[in-house]
Amino acid sequence: MKQRKEAKRYAKALLRKVGMEDAFQALSEISSINDLMLKSKEFRNLLVNPRFTDEEKENVIREIAVKLKLSENIVKFILDLSQIGVIIFLPEILRIATNLYLESRQKAKAVVMTPAEIGKNYEDKIKASLKKATNRDIELEYVIDPSLLGGILVKIGSIMYDTSIRGQLRLLKDELIKG
């Protein structure tokens, strides 16, 4: 709970710092740092471990910033998070900041889980249905999950729409148990 509260505070601070007009670019830059943290245990350790000096962290981050073409605001933000010891919350900060950005743009991000790739026609139908249900423009992210036997799972924020066969069988089982 505390982690979420801290992450939300820093996500809001980030969006205030860069402004909503530059938020999309800032979020993509932070996403590249987050991806690097996930891929490189050494980089993550550098940012998280207090044994490394602030100067060492800054030198590495500035080198990476040049290669990734990060803005000065993002470099400072990452350095600040690292110095105060909350860089570990970066994935949550990124998720919350993205949701706040999309919310301000009257958009929502939907994670769609399917057993196989779907066609453009079906994708358009999903977008239209979700837009009607949420009254927002929808940005779709696809995750292919072969364990789904059929149907789809859609997650928008904390709301889950389950039309998978497993989900429908679970509902049927619950109804049978209720009598």
* Residue listed under structure tokens 């998070």: 81
Closest CA to 133 of 114, 115, 149, 157: 157
Query: Binning pLDDT at 50, 70 and 90, where does residue 6 land?
Result: confident
Residue 63 parent element (H or E):
helix 54-68
Instruction: Please list the residue range(s) of the chain that carry CATH number 1.10.520.
Output: 2-102
pTM: 0.62
pLDDT score of 157 more than 80: no
Residues 50-74 have pLDDT tens digits of 888 889 989 998 999 999 899 999 9
CA distances from 135 to 64, 103, 132, 160 (A): 40, 11, 5, 16
What's the CATH number for 2-102?
A: 1.10.520
The pLDDT of residue 94 is: 92
d(CA 179, CA 159): 27
Instruction: Please list the residue range(s) of the chain that carry CATH number 3.40.30.
Output: 107-178
| Tokens at 159, concatenated | 């709301």
The pLDDT of residue 1 is: 60
What's the CATH number for 107-178?
A: 3.40.30
Residues 6+ apart with CB under 8 A from 26: 14, 18, 71, 73, 74
For the chain, what percent of residues have pLDDT higher than 90? 21
Residues 115-129 have pLDDT tens digits of 888 888 988 898 888
